[in-house]
Structure 1
Amino acid sequence: MNRSLAMKLGMIALLIMLLLIPLLMIGGLIGERQLQRDGVLDDIARSSSYSQQITGPLVVVPYRKTVRVWKTHAQNNERYQETQTERGELVFLPERFELDGKVSTELRSRGIYEARLFHADSRISGYFQLPEKLGLEEGFDDYRFERPYLAVGLSDVRGIENALSLQLNDQTLAFEPGTRVARLGDGVSADLPMLDGHQAARLAFSFDLKLQGTGQLRVTPVGKSSEVSLTADWPHPSFTGNYLPAQREVSAQGFTARWQTSFFSTNLEEGLRTCLHTENCEGLYGRSFGVSFIDPVDQYLKSDRAIKYALLFIALTFAGFFLFEVLKSLAVHPVQYALVGAALALFYLMLLSLSEHLGFALAYLVSAAACVTLIGFYVSHVLRGARHGVGFAAGLAALYGLLYGLLSAEDYALLMGSLLLFGLLGVFMVLTRKLDWYAIAPGIKGRTGEQP
């Protein structure tokens, strides 16, 4: 290869490597701004309420049990019987659990950042089927039962927006703060009428719950048969948890979704038992499902994805510059390469700053148009012709359009990127198929500054 050509290619490669410095700095700035945004959103959630998970209701029956134990006398080794009292709780899951909720969302702003809050107006209903002798076949007479209560776990009780009252069979009962069950966490509870215990009992319940939160709304399907229906004005739901909706409809006006589970699919009774007797409650809380109200259009995520293509973008632009050199026998100085590269790097800084105020799509359009106009104007003078400058700007605009397509098509980004590279390589090979690479450098040097 001609020494001058090798030096020119080496200089271009060095410029590309040097441009990595500002690109890395902009990438770091994207991460900093994202962390700052997340901190502001966390502050908004801290002053209102966090993500919400509803676990319950459960019926809890406290008891005192008389236990007879044998002991040995310390002096004469005689054995004698002694009675002790043990305290515990019987916990029952509902036979049927239903939640019918309507969710509305709103934006809360702090500076340039916005957090999306949701307000869930839910009707929770169902019934408990308590077995005869509360399932205690042996030693039932040794139990003394205290006043039972119904407990509902809520991950952030600050989000409760209404005065809660429980409809139990034909009675209206008041809720009180606290679940009284340590493993269930925060929530509310309501005292129930005393139970006879000897006979089976059916307890039908219902109550209205208005709940505010940010981020996610999740429900634990506590019933042997559970059905949850949600309707919301949010058009971009992200369904989360271990169970997807059995039915769902999503439109520009919002979504509707319905979940349906049974004990066979959740095995929640075992998860509850493990949670109450150990510190491992993953089997209880981990079997939840719900929906996320987080905005999927994250300008920081898209800006970070865009800058990952920056090196390829700069290399393709320099390749186009170099193609004009070899085909039109023009000499482009490394400083001119550097200025064009700096403009390409500043595109990502403009994109980041504008997207915080205009949204990603409009910010991308404005930043790309500004860079294409500036580089097209500059290149028309470097290449000694307005026609060359307009052609170069059109090619650059096409690259920006293809880059936006790559950012938008998450599932097909790899396929589109590989086809783009293959197509550009094919164009380069076709245009240079008859070029004498050994004679290229002297030709460029001899016509420096001449009109094309």
Structure 2
Amino acid sequence: MNRTLSLKLGAIAVLIILLLIPLLMIGGLIDERQALRDSVVQDIAQSSSYSQQISGPVLVVPYRKTERRWTLQEGRSIQETSQVSGHLYFLPETFALESGIDTELRSRGIYQARLFHAENHISGQFKLPARWGITEDFEDYRFEPAFLAVGISDIRGIEKGLQLQLNDRRLDFQAGTRLGWLGSGVHVVLGPLDGKGETLLDYAFDLSLQGSGQLHVLPVGRSTGVSMAANWPHPSFIGNYLPASRKVDADGFSARWQTSFFSTNLEDALAQCVTNANCEDFRSRAFGVSFVDPVDQYLKSERAIKYALLFIALTFAGFFLFEVLRNLSVHPIQYALVGAALALFYLLLLSLSEYLGFGPAYLLSAAACVLLIGFYLSHVLRSLWRALGFALGLVVLYGMLYGLLSAEDYALLMGALLLFGLLGVFMVLTRRLDWYGVGQGRLQ
């Protein structure tokens, strides 16, 4: 290979390395803007309400138990008594939740956060065993009024007053769950219950709940059925259980979950929570839906800039083909100017996407770069048709890049096929080229 060609290839390689500097700076700017957006979204959620999880209802029966033991004192057996307090916990036999959800955008500056308003109807039945399931001496127990507790992770999101319908009674909820392990929420005092025989309690209440990000439901029933319907067409179903059925279209989604104690093992998780103060397992057995916007311009901009080096290398390879096949000379500064235009594409993409969304921003940024480079190359290559051909190649590359960004599941396959195809084109065009004779008196 002649010395002139070696110097040209070395200069191109140095330019590509130098162009990494602005690309890294733009990549850092993407991270900075994304962090700023996340902080604004967090501030909006802090001013309204965070993600929500509904845990309950749980029926709680406080008790005081008299414990007796015999001790030997001065040769005589003496009975000593002590009082021990605690709670009996009962999960519903059936638990049904029907939720109608509307979403809205809240803006602060150029940033937006998506909130949801869920109108929930919760109903079911408690089946309380005779003698509260106690197998010991029932007369040693003194029971206080039972209460029903519902955990709500952020009670600021409760939009209306709550009233429980219990059999033929109506009772008002009060703030707080009275249970440290259940966290924040509400409770309602049920009053004294006759625990001597088996008791059936039908319950129902409406819960209007506002939140942001995600809505979780803990399947507390021995048999649990949850249905949700929303005007959000991009749901992400999350948690330990996927919907048994779902429908997603342009107008929104609907989904239904069905679980049982056989699949959740929630009674054991509750026992571990109460006895060992290890409630993470109990709270984590939830499922629900995420309302986070899947079209994240920062994530797509970050993915796009990962292909920047390849994009610049392919463009420079096209320049080099013009030089060796058309016997033209392109100065390294001209390479650098075109490379700078390609790098600025990503800065344009980032800045415009914050106002227009990723799709329109990509179209405008790509069009601006193609027009600028095409105009410049019409003089560098000394031919309008050559410049148009090169600009058309850039259009194809930008189109392929957008396809890679849109088809996340097939990005690797599409990228591999693209590289293989471009390598094949390069080899076909240069199959008869005398590389030892390239650049004699021309490349400089």
Distance 1:333 1:343 in 2: 16
**Deviation (angstroms), 1:311:** 0.4
Q: Which residue, out of 133, 140, 143, partners 1:142?
A: 140
Map 1:228-243 onto structure 2 (within 5 A): 228-243=226-241
Range 403-412 or range 276-285, more displaced: 276-285
Partner residue in 1 for 2:306? 308
Query: Which secondary structure does the structure 2 equivalent of 1:235 belong to?
Result: coil
Distance 1:70 1:303 in 2: 76
Distance 2:268 2:298 in 1: 42
Partner residue in 2 for 1:442? 440
Distance 1:183 1:415 in 2: 49
Are residues 1:58 and 2:58 paired? yes
1:87 maps to amino acid:
S
TM-score, normalised to structure 2's length? 0.98
Partner residue in 2 for 1:20? 20
TM-score, normalised to structure 1's length? 0.97
**Deviation (angstroms), 1:281:** 1.3
Cα offsets for 1:85-117 (capped at 9, x unmatched): 000000000000000010000110000000000
Partner residue in 2 for 1:11? 11
Distance 1:312 1:342 in 2: 14
Partner residue in 2 for 1:284? 282
Are residues 1:126 and 2:124 paired? yes
Distance 2:440 2:69 in 1: 106
Range 281-290 or range 430-439, more displaced: 281-290
Map 1:252-401 onto structure 2 (within 5 A): 252-401=250-399
Partner residue in 2 for 1:35? 35
Q: Point out where structure 1 has 5 or more consecutive residues left out of the alignment.
A: none
Are residues 1:46 and 2:49 paired? no
1:252 maps to amino acid:
A
Q: How many residue pairs align between the two structures? A: 444
2:21 maps to amino acid:
I
Query: Which secondary structure does the structure 1 equivalent of 2:241 belong to?
Result: coil
Q: Point out where structure 2 has 5 or more consecutive residues left out of the alignment.
A: none
**Deviation (angstroms), 1:126:** 0.1
Residues 329 and 443, structure 1, Cα contact 8 Å, conserved in 2 = no
Q: What is the root-mean-square deviation in Å for CA atoms of aligned residues?
A: 1.1
1:396 maps to amino acid:
L
Map 1:400-415 onto structure 2 (within 5 A): 400-415=398-413
Query: Which secondary structure does the structure 2 equivalent of 1:163 belong to?
Result: coil
1:333 maps to amino acid:
H
1:229 maps to amino acid:
S
Q: 1:136 to 1:437 in 2, by over 3 A?
A: same
Cα offsets for 1:317-348 (capped at 9, x unmatched): 00001010000011111100000000000000
**Deviation (angstroms), 1:80:** 3.3
Distance 1:128 1:181 in 2: 19
Query: Which secondary structure does the structure 2 equivalent of 1:366 belong to?
Result: helix
**Deviation (angstroms), 1:79:** 5.8
Distance 1:176 1:144 in 2: 24
Q: 1:279 to 1:138 in 2, by over 3 A?
A: closer
1:274 maps to amino acid:
Q
**Deviation (angstroms), 1:283:** 2.0
**Deviation (angstroms), 1:284:** 1.1
Cα offsets for 1:355-395 (capped at 9, x unmatched): 00010000000000000000011111111111111000000
Query: Which secondary structure does the structure 2 equivalent of 1:180 belong to?
Result: coil
Identity of aligned residues (%): 68
After TM superposition, the runs of 4+ consecutive aligned structure 1 residues lying more than 6 A away are none
Query: Which secondary structure does the structure 2 equivalent of 1:362 belong to?
Result: helix
Query: Which secondary structure does the structure 2 equivalent of 1:61 belong to?
Result: strand
Distance 2:150 2:75 in 1: 51
Distance 1:77 1:430 in 2: 109
Map 1:30-109 onto structure 2 (within 5 A): 30-71=30-71, 80-109=78-107
Residues 326 and 444, structure 1, Cα contact 8 Å, conserved in 2 = no
Cα offsets for 1:255-277 (capped at 9, x unmatched): 01000000000000011111112
Distance 2:253 2:193 in 1: 42
Distance 2:25 2:397 in 1: 23
Distance 2:304 2:76 in 1: 84
Are residues 1:251 and 2:240 paired? no
Partner residue in 1 for 2:191? 193
Residues 234 and 254, structure 1, Cα contact 8 Å, conserved in 2 = yes
Partner residue in 2 for 1:176? 174
